[in-house]
Amino acid sequence: MNRKNVTIQDIANTANVSKSTVSRVLNDSTPVDAKKRAAVLKAMKNLDFKPNVFARILAGGRSMTLGIVTQNIGSPFYDSVTMGVINGLADTGYSPIIADGQWNQERELVAVRTLIERQVDGLIMVGGNLDSSTLREACHGVPVVQIARYLEDCKERCICIDNVAAAKRATEFLIEAGHRNIAHIAGISDHEDSIDRLKGYQQALTDANIVVRDELIVQGDFSAQSGVLALETLLLRGVAFSAVFAANDEMAFGVRLALFRAGKRVPEDVSIIGFDDQPNSAYMIPPLTTVSQPALEMGAAASKMLVSAIAEKPFEIPMLPVELVVRESVTRLR
C-alpha cells in the first residue's frame, strides 16, 4: 500500500546477509549460522518486519490461511464448532477463511474449491455431505480435518463423538427412571447423526426388552419448529407416551412448546431429553436434560489437529467428553 513495508531485502541489508539467509531463518528450512541468525532476528525485531503473505505464497510457500467449510450458518451447534475452530486458531499464526456449504453438496463443493483456490494450507469441514472421494479429489492433497462426521476411509482425521452410544445412554436414563413408552423425534432422515441416534434409541429399548414401536418415532429435521410438529403428530396418533427423546435440543424446545400449548406439564406428564446441550438448554423451563457434545472443544481440537498435520507432526485425538447433563425435565415414574 502507501506506507512502504520493510522487506526481507531491508533486513538482509541491515543484518549484512543475503535475502536467502533471511528467508531461511524465517522458515527455518535450512540451518543458519547462529550469529547471523541472531543478527537477522534482531533486525527483524528492530524494523518491525512482517512477511508479506501474498509474496510468500506466490513464491510457493504457505499461505498461513486455513479454510473452514460450514453448513447452514445459523445453527447453534455448528456455529459453536466453527467458533471453537476460530478460537483454536488464535495465536497459531493461521487465519481462517470461511465458506458456507448450506448442506448442499453442490455448494459445498464450490466452497471447497474456492478455498483451495485461495491456497489454504488446510481445510476443516464442519459437518457436510460430500462423499469422501470427491472431497479428497477437490483438495489436491491439502490436509483436511472433518468435524462432527465420521468418514470411514480417514478415521484419523475425524473429530466426532459416538452418537449411537450417547443416544443409547440418554434413552437408558429414561428407562431407568421407569419410562416404558418413550417417543423419539428423529432428525433429518439421511443425516448420519440422526441415523445413529435413532439406532442408539432402538438399541437401548431392545436391550431392556422393550419393543421398538414405529408409532412412537416421528421424523423431524433438527429445527425447533419441526419439534412442535412432531409432537403434534404424536398427539394426533393417540399413542401413549411418558417421555420424549429428541435428537437435538432445538427439537426438544419445540416439543416443550407443543406440550405447553397442549396443556401438558413437563416433567409431571411428559419427560423430555434432548441432545447437544446448547447454551440455552439450561434456561428452559424446566431446564432440559440433555447430552452435552463439546462443540467448542471439538472445533479447537480440529484446529490443533490441522495445524499439526500441516507441520507433519503427530497429533493425538483428545478424549471428547460426551456426558448426560441431568436437569429437571425428566421425572422418575412411581
Judged by the rule CB under 7 A, the positions of this chain that interact with DNA are 4-5, 7-9, 16-21, 23-24, 26-27, 29-33, 36-37, 49, 51-52, 55-56, 58-61
CA distance 314 to 182: 44
Segment 253-282, which members bind a copy of itself (CB under 8 A)? 253-254, 256-257, 260, 279-280, 282
In the list DNA, a copy of itself, none, the entry touching 86 (Cβ below 5 to 8 angstroms by class) is a copy of itself
Contact 200, 162 (CB under 8 A): no
CA distance 51 to 19: 12
In the list a copy of itself, DNA, none, the entry touching 24 (Cβ below 5 to 8 angstroms by class) is DNA
What element of type H or E holds 86?
helix 76-89
In the list DNA, a copy of itself, none, the entry touching 262 (Cβ below 5 to 8 angstroms by class) is none
CA atoms within 13 A on the CB side of 250: 15
310 binds a copy of itself (CB under 8 A): no
CA distance 186 to 244: 11
Bridge partners of residue 221, in order along the sequence: none
Smaller CB separation from DNA, 39 or 288: 39
Smaller CB separation from DNA, 55 or 282: 55
Q: How many CB atoms lie within 10 A of CB 312?
A: 7
Under rule CB under 8 A, how many of the chain's residues touch a copy of itself? 48
Smaller CB separation from a copy of itself, 164 or 252: 252
Q: What is the dihedral of CA 206, 208, 214, 219, to 10 degrees?
A: -90
CA distance 299 to 305: 10
Smaller CB separation from a copy of itself, 93 or 314: 93
Sign of the CA dihedral 296, 299, 304, 307? negative
Residues that bind a copy of itself (CB under 8 A): 1-3, 50, 52-55, 57-58, 63, 65, 73-74, 76, 79-80, 83, 86-87, 90, 95-100, 114, 117-119, 140-141, 224, 253-254, 256-257, 260, 279-280, 282-287, 296
